Amino acid sequence: MHFPASRPRRLRRTRLIRDLVAETRVYPRDLIFPLFVKEGLSKKEPIEAMPGQYRFSLEELTKEVNELVELGIRNILLFGIPERKDEIGSSAYDREGIVQRTIKKLRDEFSNEITIFTDVCLCQYTTHGHCGVVIGNSVDNDETLKQIAKIAVSHAEAGSDVVAPSGMMDGAVRAIREALDDAGYKDTAIMSYSSKYASVLYGPFREAASSAPKFGDRRGYQMDPRNSDEALREALLDIQEGADIIMVKPATWYLDIIKRLSRLPVPLAAYNVSGEYSMIKLAGEAGFFDEKMAVWEILHSIKRAGADIIITYFAKDYAKWLRSGEIIP
């Protein structure tokens, strides 16, 4: 009988050996935690579509960030939900808007202990729910650029470290970079949602942020899920325009895109989106699998595919499980 000359199982025999030779690890420092701050709230409000997630008042959000810092999560992505909406989303760039006030308070409370990323889009701020200025029945790209440039400057002025345009408007990165530089915010970085696909997985987010479009859909500006070359073209354009970080969104259904864009010469983020979160949460609660291990496996798959940064609603849970020893990095 001929026995195998090589036995890879030797290095899988114990947990300690597996940990020693693991090729991919995910730590809290690799994660960004998205947070919703809502104007007019007096306490945090559960998000029905996303079990375990909340819309926060400004005061409650500060407490939440303090918990995150204690857990080693130092990166947050802010989404604002205003009391007032209009056709052009003007409250998005109000210097006393909900996001701008939140940035200032967090900067005062935590100084440089955290990195503040801020979403730059109009969908939560417009009466129609689209990501730009609507003229007729469609989003006008160039009018939208004027608005998002103002939003980005207002965020930088308040103290945001990284602004993140998410509307998939052509020329958005260039418009924001020029506006930031002209306003004296040359050190404010841009994380571009360079490959944001028109996905069904955004449904829970739209409920959380009250941002569902009132007519039509977003397929006229978000990317077609059938395309891969287009993602590369979009990413290269954004890098040429000045993006410091590029992003793939969603993550787990687009691991091939993450792998492809990971070869580009800037850091790559991947957004583990609301639909991915809710599916795992609900299946875990129903007892179909161990939620902790499902999250562990998914986050490692995203990192293994080539993401440098993972934006995930599981960040806080993951950090807690690590701390308690229930999972390993």
Which residues belong to the annotated binding site? 121, 123, 131, 206, 218, 234, 274, 313
Query: Is the peptide bond between 4 and the residue preceding it cis, with omega within 30 degrees of 0?
Result: no
Question: What residues have CB less than 8 Å from 60, skipping those under 6 apart?
Answer: 41, 43, 44, 54
Check if 186 is active-site: no
Neighbours of 305 (CB within 10 A): 22
Amino acid at 222: Q
Pairing mode of beta strands 309-312, 31-38: parallel
DSSP of 233-281: HHHHHHHHHT-SEEEEESSGGGHHHHHHHTTSSS-EEEEE-HHHHHHHH
Beta bridge partners of 191: 245
Per-state percent for the chain, helix, strand, coil, to nearest 5: 45, 20, 35
The annotated binding site for 5-aminolevulinate is made up of 206, 218, 274, 313
Question: What residues have CB less than 8 Å from 285, skipping those under 6 apart?
Answer: 51, 291
Of the residues 105, 150, 249, 281, only one is catalytic, namely 249
Of the residues 38, 196, 303, 316, only one is catalytic, namely 196
Cα 72 to chain centroid distance, Å, stands at 18
d(CA 117, CA 128) in angstroms, rounded, equals 25
The annotated binding site for Zn(2+) is made up of 121, 123, 131
Phi/psi of residue 182, nearest 5 degrees: -65, -30
Q: Do 241 and 174 contact (CB within 8 A), yes or no?
A: yes
Query: Which helix (H) or strand (E) element contains residue 146?
Result: helix 141-158
Check if 249 is active-site: yes
Active-site positions read 196, 249
